Structure 1
Amino acid sequence: MDKISSKHMQPRHRGEWGSKLGLILAMAGNAVGLGNFWRFPRMAAQYGGGAFMIPYFLALIIVGLPIMITEWHLGRFGGQHGHGTIGPMIYLQAKERVKPRTALVLGSICGGLAFAIPVLINSYYNHIVGWSLNYAFQSLIGRMGPDVDKTAAYVDAISNPLPAILFWIIVMILLAVAASKGIKKGIEAWSKVMMPTLYVFGILLAIFALCTPARPDTPNLTALAGLEFLWKPDFSKINWEVVLATCGQIFFTLSLGMGLIANYASFLKKDDDIVVSSIATVSLNEFAEVVLASTAVVPLAFVFMGKDLIDPSMGSIGFSFMAMPNAFNSLPGVLSNIVGACWFFLLFFAGFTSALALFNYLVTFIEEGTKFSRGAASWTAFLVLIVLGLPVVIEPILNAGSQIYFDTVDSWVGSYLVLILGLIELIVVGWMVKPKKTLEGINSGAKAKMPLWIVTCFIKVITPAILLVVIINATISKVQTGYFSLTGGENGHILWTNIGRGMIIAVFLFGLIVSIKLLKREYSKDLVKNK
């Protein structure tokens, strides 16, 4: 690429994926997370079953795939110049059309967002992974039986200091160990074990769910009736709210707009096929979400809960940690423990592989900003996330299970800021680089070449336009529900709401400042000339 400082003409040695299979499984592990199994089934049921699935698949094709390919392209491009974080990738792409100092602004904003998003998500996501491991352990030893109040058990799991902190720390240590081993011996090796195991548990639960008979007191609530409830389309329920929900789910489920896809793709070889890799990643994720989650979770929940599974007040966490264990209690003896353990180990493996991708982004950010070794960067990331994760564990302990801080950070970062980062990525790649040059980068090493109209129609126009509409409507919705209020706070809890808001701003500003310094250090000659 022209006008790149000589320092990056020969990329640093950053490690590479050991095999194509390992890369695909790691990427799938990044995408396949808790949202596949606890968020998707409830959303699909809540928004009309088949009425949700029609716009869902359209959003997958029109929004999901173009952004997925864009992020794979950005990642491999950045890796060739020694970068694994979004800020420098956006800077180098934007510099094709605008002056370096303008590109610096774009790169720094994206760098700050791409630092804040994975770090803040990781700060609370690791706790959920810890809860899953705790529940899997409790199920194995028979402590989740029918005589246990599941609501009280959940409150105890998050507000009792011993289990809340213990399982969180265990997860954090495992993440640091896996990341410290590097790409091939760490992330790839763990993904090769966890992802196949996840699919096995999912298939076993799906078979069990389909074979589960209706209860004598509710003979109409069968597993097949549950599938019909999910897949039978009611076209009268398709509306703008459903469309917005499907777009949000696509971002959530594919880990888009977080910098994670680009980070993993930065470790690709120059001739790796990113077209096939993108499609394979999406396919494995959709198999887990649409096939396994729909077949395992919805029929089983429908048999024991009926249409109560779509109750919005339950929330995804309540559905996973309270409603589903209650459903398992209807099973006889040891079978209840086994099925419960399978469910929570499934959540643990899905959550851990996604948490590892989030964790690795912070490790890469530390490596690029300092002279730390991989191991030192991993344990530094461990300490950073311990500090940032403290409010998530402290609030429930102090306030009897309250999770306002958790909800505030999640609502802003996990479903709003990701959309903004994704939009900027599309604008930079689609409008600041010539379409033929973008296509050349995407098709490099590809056996099945993408046509030019994918770039000119989708990456440049259709996908960013849809995303802009979604962001505008999401902003309007947040204004109407008081998310921008400085006095009321979300749900009326101003203290922990503002602590969450303050944390988001502080982490973003830190990432922004570090990104500016990194880009100024790496591309000082370009910025001085500003041509």
Structure 2
Amino acid sequence: MAGQAATDVGREQWSGQLGFLLSAIGSAIGLGNIWRFPGVAYDNGGGAFLIPYLVALLTAGVPILLLDYSLGHRFRGSAPTVFRRLGRRFEPLGWFQVAIAFMIATYYTVIIVWAIRYAFFSVSLAWGDDPAGFFIGDFLQDAGPTITGDVVGGIFWPMVALWAVTLVVIALGVARGIERANKIFLPLLVVLFLVLVVRALFLDGAMDGLNAFFTPNWAALSDPGVWIAAYSQIFFSLSIAFGIMLTYSSYLRRRSNLVPVSYVAAFANSSFEVLAGIGVFATLGYMAFQQGVAVDELEGITGVVLSFITFPQIISLMPGGAVFGVLFFTSLTLAGFTSLISILQVVSAAFQEKFGLSRVQVSVLIGGLCAVISLALYSTTSSLAMLDTVDKYTNEIGVVTSAILMCLITGLGLRKLPELQAHLNLVSTARVGAWWRVLVGIVVPVALAYMLVRTVMELVTEPYSGYPWTFVNIVGWGAVALMVIASFAYTAVRWRRPVDDFTPDPIPGFAASAARLGGPTEASR
């Protein structure tokens, strides 16, 4: 206890359970909820997709979220701190998660800037009659899958401003910065998006869009790819396994109701995704109605194309489109910003703890470095293909690998799952049973390993998105290599603050029950 008390001195805390919950939900609800889920669901069985989606939520999303919460809350630190306290040889995994967050932060900002600019473009419908040409040519000045270094001023300067605001929030800290921002922006996001959905439901053709979205294709359930898509969507939308929820939970008071909070956060995120699907497909139904085609004949119903090409087309067609556009792109901005600050807090916490830096110092030095890299890479004419490639490799290689390692280390390697389960049950009003250990220790790593192998095989047999091999190897595999190198390089640096003199809170009755089961006790570590 003395070691824990010493390390907790001066550690930041959320103002309360509500502040943590809002911040956790704000992190989970991001750009992918709005522009990724509707298209993924539609392409993978429509209404039938909700079945594997729910299964994935219950068997992978919630269990890994609970794993993140239990690790951060029990071992009281950033990702590198927590994994070092599990064992010195595991510290690289913590830094690998920090590197993932750093990499994502560099490109996440430019998407938010696009949304900010398009909120203003919506007022005058600046994209004219050719939204695709405007976005690719006039706005991005896209040079394709190549590395040019040519800066686009209309993106560079708004990115500078966004980075300045973001780093100020990080510098203000957990309660005064991140929590306060989420308490303002998350309710505003929900209100704005509800207004959008209600408006969309009254458009001509909206019901056709909803029928296309919810009509089940039961045959799709026999396709393994549909189940993989469901696990991928849940996994990437909950902000799990790369340090965010682990770091966030470390700022909770020692007596915190972790299990119910995890359920609320997970189902709030999924509810917003379904709401986004309703709003998006009601709007797509209107577009199909205007063009006199079926909804399934439309193109561009996911990702960047949906948000910045398809939706501007719809906005130009509908009455009051300018207002709809402002609301839509403002919603994208808010969803992106609440996720961005959570991603950067992973980086901030790690450098504060290892190098003994203050919040302000980390914001200026490390946040400033992230901003410089972000501006150098993503305010250029190469941004679109580079973003697409780095996002693919970072999430589907980096994050999945991180999750597999987390499960294997805590489950098979250290046999920590009984202790973490006991910790969750000690501090929570709801309990988790042996099912959680089975899912985290066996089901999740097996499912994710299958996903990872399939992804790697696809990426090594054909170039991602048809880009040149040279480009995808340098940008995609290069990003993965940099994250691995960083994880070992920062592990080799000496800690400026003591982290090893740490003893987790005792769990009444756990040592005796662990001894009966033949598992490791707290004293045997």
**C-alpha contact 1:45 1:310 (8 A) present in aligned 2:** no
Task: Provide TM-score, normalisation by structure 2.
Answer: 0.87
- In the alignment, which residue of structure 2 is the partner of 1:201? 192
| Aligned match of 1:472 | 453
Report if the CA contact (8 A) 1:175-1:356 is conserved: yes
Aligned with residue 32 of structure 1, among 4, 29, 33: 29
Aligned partner of 1:468: which letter? A
* Number of residue equivalences: 489
- Is the deviation greater in 229-238 or in 38-47? 229-238
**Aligned-partner Cα distance in 2 for 1:361–1:525:** 22
* 1:165 matches 2:156: yes
Aligned residue number for residue 126 of structure 1: 109
**TM value normalised by structure 1:** 0.86
* Structure 2 letter corresponding to 1:245: A
Distance 1:230 1:367, change over 3 A: same
Q: Aligned partners of 2:263, 2:436: CA distance in 1, in Å?
A: 16
Partner of 1:57: 54
Q: Report whether the alignment pairs 1:279 with 2:276.
A: no
Q: Say if 1:72 and 1:435 are closer, same or farther in 2 by CA, change over 3 A.
A: closer
Residue 208 (structure 1) shift: 0.7
Q: CA deviation at 1:139?
A: 1.7
Structure 1 residues 259 and 173, CA, compared in 2 at 3 Å: closer, same or farther?
same
- Which residue number in structure 1 is paired with residue 91 of structure 2? 107
Gaps of 5+ in 1: 94-102, 214-221, 484-488
Q: Contact conserved, 1:50 with 1:233, CA < 8 A, in 2?
A: yes
Tell me how far 1:344 sits from its aligned partner: 0.2
Among 356, 363, 386, which residue is 2:341 paired with? Answer: 356
The match for 1:175 is: 166
Shift of 1:337: 0.7
Between the aligned partners of 2:192 and 2:257, the Cα distance in structure 1 is 30
Q: Map Cα deviations across residues 246-278 of structure 1 (whole Å, 9 max, x no partner).
A: 111111110112211111111011001110111
Residues 286/404 of structure 1: CA separation in 2 closer, same or farther (3 Å cut): same
Q: Could you tell me which residue of structure 2 aligns to residue 231 of structure 1?
A: 214
**Equivalent of residue 8 in structure 2, options 7, 11, 36:** 11
Letter of the 2:392 partner, please give it: S
Q: Structure 1 residues 521 and 139, CA, compared in 2 at 3 Å: closer, same or farther? A: same
Distance 1:395 1:106 in 2: 37
Matched, 1:438 2:420: yes
State the Cα distance separating 1:359 from its structure 2 match.
1.3
Residue 417 of structure 1 aligns with which residue? Answer: 398
The one-letter code matched in structure 1 to 2:81 is P
Give 1:366 deviation, angstroms: 1.9
Distance in 2 (CA, whole Å) between partners of 1:139 and 1:119 is: 31
How many Å separate the matches in 2 of 1:310 and 1:350? 29
| 1:385 maps onto 2:370 in alignment | yes
Cα gap change, 1:23 to 1:170, in 2 (>3 Å): same
> Match for residue 97 of structure 1?
none
Of 219, 231, 247, 2:231 maps to: 247
The 5 Å alignment of 1:14-93 reads 14-79=11-76, 83-84=77-78, 86-93=79-86
Check whether the contact 1:405–1:497 (CA below 8 A) recurs between aligned residues: no
Maintained 8 Å contact 1:273/1:444: no
Shift of 1:164: 0.8
Contact 1:273 1:443 (8 Å CA) reproduced:
no
Corresponding residue of 1:304: 287
Percent of pairs with identical residues: 24
Structure 2 Cα separation of the partners of residues 339 and 29 of structure 1: 22
Q: CA offsets per residue over residues 128-171 of structure 1, 9 Å max, x none? A: 0111111112223x243644544323433333722211221121
Query: C-alpha offsets along residues 98-141 of structure 1, whole Å, 9 cap, x if unaligned?
Result: xxxxx333221x1232121111111001100111111112223x
* Bigger Cα displacement from structure 2, 162-171 vs 379-388: 379-388
Residue 404 of structure 2 aligns with an amino acid whose one-letter code is L
Read off the aligned partner of 1:199 and give its amino acid letter: V
Q: RMSD across aligned C-alpha pairs, in angstroms?
A: 2.6
2:255–2:427 Cα contact (<8 Å) kept:
yes
Does 1:375 find its partner at 2:366? Answer: no
Offset, 1:198: 0.6
Structure 1 residue 505: deviation in Å? 2.2
2:519 paired residue number: none
Gaps (5+ residues) in structure 2? 142-150, 503-523
